[in-house]
Amino acid sequence: MPETYDAIIIGGGHNGLTCAAYLAKGGEKHGKKKLKVLVLERREKVGGAAMSEEIYPGFTYSTCSYVCSLLRPEIFRFLDLPKYGLQVIPYDINSAPNPEGEGIIYYSDHDRTRESLRRHSIRDAEAYDEYAMEISRHCRFIKRTLMMTPPDPTQLNPFVQNRINPWGHREDLDGLLKIGREFGRMGERNMYDMIRFWSMSVADFLDQYFETPRWKGLAAASSIIGTALGPYSPGTAYVLLHHYMGEVDGQIGAWGFARGGMGSVSKAIAAAAEEAGVEIRVNAEVDKIIVKNGKAVGVALKTGEEIFGKSVVSNADPKRTYLKLIEKGDLDAIDPDIHRYATNYKIRGSSGKLNIALDGLPEFAGLPKEAAYGTVDIGGDFDYIERAFDDFKYGSWSKRPFLDCVIPTTVDPTMAPPGKHFMSVFVQYVPYKLAEGPWTQEMKAQYTKDVLDTIELHAPGFKKLVLHVQTRTPWDIENEVGMTEGNIFHGELTLDQLLFNRPFPGMGQFRGPFDNFYMCGSGTHPGGGVMGAPGANAAHEMLKDFKRGVVQ
């Protein structure tokens, strides 16, 4: 059989491209032995969910993901992304409008935030530092685990040889000890705080510090974005970290806009990959992964074409990979439980989007004009968000949703004609399927109306500015980008699906059930967001296997 490629990567999202670039460059340390890598992208261009498109004339939309922070600085630097045109501009403002009074706004400047919060509650303003410090302590620990392969506690015995640890290496034990050491360094007091933090609800966590309901609602926003949980659900406090652990230029927790929209991220990574020798084929939809004798040997395209390689890497989400791209028979031949894991994998899409072209900059109720230059979170107190979640639970979109709005054109002059603006509205919660059945045009129109009404309520006069609206439900996201159920993280970020259990128990180390088969998408550690870490981590593991001769 003809064997042309060292690695075939299914899907040209940012993680697939990162993985490809890392493989082609041979990883940070090696740099010598370059692998021959092919990326197969179903659509007519790469990018996946990090995509810029001109949907309405003159306007560039970041169609899915819309802000950038989590992209690991290690990756930024190793792939030299600025060279390929990537520029991330941080913004300094986060606010919540209030139609009945003064909104809440905070800034990157500490004193400015203090003054702003004091207008609502001196207590809250004074508790803010203490709160921010606790978050930082947790982030410090988490950040160290992002770029590592999560150790599997069931594989600690260093003498056991198995397929995943082919030479009976001590990696899992060492990894666990390393985490243990990091853990130990934070002092016993912080250890307890952390253990508790991981299992508590964001409502309980914030109640310890703050009293203003709207402020707490704003602070809770980060922990419900993209999840299928409400603020009262245990385990949501951790998700808060997932949005705080990003950085722009070393400034922890900062978020920024990618100049030219999020497509610039994928474009830059793709350019870096191509320069490293990666071959990218678009309009090449993979139908099946070809497995022979328990080994992944190549892929079959929808067109019938078969491409063979030494290894196959899936950037698709775990459910799509295991239930659509892989034959059930191939899985069952290895272990019948895997199919069950894939079926039970929690991947509820819970968020939709509205991309809006605006004739001018909107003004938000109860906020200064400058609020539009950062994130505007339309919501309310915990109960507001929880009620939005209740709608979702029973199979409907939130009638009064929580909205995370950004207007990147306030900072980025390239995305809209002068004076006009592009606004990205992230809608929480929207179900993949409605209780009544699949999404219809009427339902979608009603959903769009509910979102626009909610914005209008918080930004009087907004509707008059609207030139064009693109509506995305999780169903649309699945159809367009291929993410199962439209879940933006390739699987919910709950404790049961993190670390060595991401995506499935026993398959948390970027490897799949077959030899020569790997996973590199957000469905692997450390999870979703335009972070690139899963792709880089997967490449790291693959290169080890190439070196050891596991992949031949």
Partner 1 sequence: MSKPNAADVLVIGAGHNGLVTAAYLAKAGLKVIVLESAAQVGGAAVTREFAPGYRVSGVAHLLHGLNTTVARDLNLARHGLDLKAARVKTRSLLPGGGGFEVGPDVAATATSIAAISKADAAAYGPVMARLVKLADALAGYALHTPPRADVTKMDWRDQLNLGLFALSLRRLGKKDMLELTRILTINVNDLANDFFESEPVKALLCFEGSLGVFLGPRSPSTVFNLLYRLSNLGANGQGGFIVPKGGMGSVTQALAASAKAAGATIRTNAAVDHILIENDAAAGVVLANGEELRAAQVVSSADPQRTALKLIGPRHLDTMFVSRIRHLRMNGCAAKIHLALDSLPPALANAAGRVVVAAKPDDIERAYDCAKYGRVSDRPALELVIPSLSDPSLAPAGKHVASIVAQYAPYKLKDTSEHDARQQVFERSLAVLESVAPGLSERITASETLTPHDLETQFGLTGGQWHHGEITLDQVLLQRPAAQWQQYRMPVPGIYLCGAGAHPGGNVSGAPGYNAAREILKDAKAAKTRGAA
Partner 2 sequence: MTAYIEHLTPFLRKTPFHPRIEALMHANSWMRWTGHYSPANFESVQSEYFTIRNGASVYDVSPLIKYAIRGREAADFVNHLITRDLSKIKPMQAFYTSWCQDDGMLVEEGTIFRLGENDFLLNAAKDQLHWLEQTAYGFDVQIEEASNDLCGLSLQGPESRQVLRAMGINGIDNLKRFGIQELELNGHWLRIDRAGFTGDLGYEIWCKPESALWLWDRMFDAGRDHKIAPIGAQALEISRIEAGFLLVDVDYTSALHALRPSNRMSPYELGIGWTVNLNKPGYFVGKRALKKEKEQGLSRHVLIGIEIEGRKPAPGSFLYADQPGKVELGLTTSATWSSTLKKNIAYARVPQAYAKPGTEMWIEIWYGKEHKIERSMVRCWATNRMFYDPPRKSA
**How many Cα atoms sit within 13 Å of 261 on the Cβ side?**
25
Q: What is the C-alpha radius of gyration for the chain, rounded to an integer number of angstroms? A: 23
Closer to partner 1 at the Cβ: 85 or 184?
184
From the list partner 1, partner 2, none, which binds 140 (C-beta under 5 to 8 Å, kind-based)?
A: partner 2
Q: Quick count: other Cβ atoms within 10 Å of Cβ 64?
A: 26
Site size toward partner 2 (CB under 8 A) is: 31
Contact present, 17 and 281 (Cβ < 8 Å): no
Closer to partner 2 at the Cβ: 200 or 252?
252
Closer to partner 1 at the Cβ: 76 or 500?
500
Q: Which of 282, 373, 383, 466 binds partner 2 (CB under 8 A)?
A: 373
Closer to partner 1 at the Cβ: 206 or 248?
206
Q: Which of 43, 45, 114, 295 binds partner 2 (CB under 8 A)?
A: 114
CA 544 to chain centre: 26
Residues 135, 137, 139, 142: what is their CA dihedral angle, to the nearest 10 degrees?
A: -140
Closest CA to 403 of 472, 347, 466, 452: 452
461 makes contact with partner 2 (CB under 8 A): no
Contacts of 252 (CB under 8 A, 6+ apart): 136, 139, 244, 245, 246
Query: Cβ 196 to partner 1, closest distance in Å?
Result: 5
Query: Cβ 328 to partner 1, closest distance in Å?
Result: 18
Contact residues: partner 1, CB under 8 A: 153-154, 184, 188-189, 191-193, 195-196, 199-200, 204, 207-208, 229, 232-235, 337, 344, 346, 383, 386, 390, 393-394, 494-496, 500-501, 505-506
Contacts of 212 (CB under 8 A, 6+ apart): 104, 120, 121, 124
Query: Cβ 150 to partner 1, closest distance in Å?
Result: 12
Query: Cβ 137 to partner 2, closest distance in Å?
Result: 6
Contacts of 282 (CB under 8 A, 6+ apart): 12, 41, 43, 44, 45, 46
Q: Which of 32, 111, 329, 418 binds partner 2 (CB under 8 A)?
A: 111
**How many Cα atoms sit within 13 Å of 318 on the Cβ side?**
34
| Alpha carbons 382 and 388: distance in angstroms, whole number | 10
Query: Cβ 124 to partner 2, closest distance in Å?
Result: 9
From the list partner 1, partner 2, none, which binds 123 (C-beta under 5 to 8 Å, kind-based)?
A: partner 2
| Alpha carbons 273 and 85: distance in angstroms, whole number | 14
Query: Cβ 437 to partner 1, closest distance in Å?
Result: 17
Phi, then psi, of 397 in degrees rounded to 5 = -75, 155
| Alpha carbons 404 and 496: distance in angstroms, whole number | 26
User: What is the per-residue DSSP string for 264-332?
Assistant: HHHHHHHHHHHHTT-EEE-S--EEEEEEETTEEEEEEETTS-EEEEEEEEE-S-HHHIIIIIS-HHHHH
Question: Which two tokens mark 495?
Answer: 């404790």
3-state secondary structure of 133: helix
Query: Cβ 484 to partner 1, closest distance in Å?
Result: 16
Closer to partner 2 at the Cβ: 94 or 410?
410
3-state secondary structure of 39: strand
123 makes contact with partner 2 (CB under 8 A): yes
Query: Cβ 107 to partner 2, closest distance in Å?
Result: 8
Q: Which of 36, 45, 137, 544 binds partner 2 (CB under 8 A)?
A: 137
Region binding partner 2 by CB under 8 A among candidate stretches 367-375, 381-389, 446-454, 501-509: 367-375
Q: How far is CA 134 from CA 184, 222, 224, in A?
A: 17, 16, 19
From the list partner 2, partner 1, none, which binds 344 (C-beta under 5 to 8 Å, kind-based)?
A: partner 1
Q: Is the peptide bond before 526 cis (omega within 30 degrees of 0)?
A: yes
402-406, strands of its sheet edge to edge: 104-107, 93-96, 375-378, 402-406, 421-428, 351-358, 466-472
Residue bearing tokens 């999870």: 527
CA 364 to chain centre: 28
Question: Which two tokens mark 236?
Answer: 């949501």
195 makes contact with partner 2 (CB under 8 A): no
Q: Which of 187, 336, 360, 417 binds partner 2 (CB under 8 A)?
A: 187
Closer to partner 2 at the Cβ: 85 or 187?
187
369 makes contact with partner 2 (CB under 8 A): yes
Query: Cβ 231 to partner 1, closest distance in Å?
Result: 11
- Binding-site string for partner 2 from residue 138 to residue 157, where x marks contact by CB under 8 A and - marks none: --x-----------------
368 makes contact with partner 2 (CB under 8 A): yes
Region binding partner 2 by CB under 8 A among candidate stretches 79-87, 258-266, 369-377, 447-455: 369-377
Contacts of 130 (CB under 8 A, 6+ apart): 209
From the list partner 2, partner 1, none, which binds 167 (C-beta under 5 to 8 Å, kind-based)?
A: none
442 makes contact with partner 2 (CB under 8 A): no
Query: Cβ 350 to partner 1, closest distance in Å?
Result: 12
Query: Cβ 413 to partner 2, closest distance in Å?
Result: 9
- Binding-site string for partner 2 from residue 53 to residue 72, where x marks contact by CB under 8 A and - marks none: --------------------
Site of interaction with partner 2 (CB under 8 A): 92, 109, 111-112, 114-116, 122-123, 125-130, 133, 136-137, 140, 185-187, 189-190, 209, 368-370, 373, 410-411
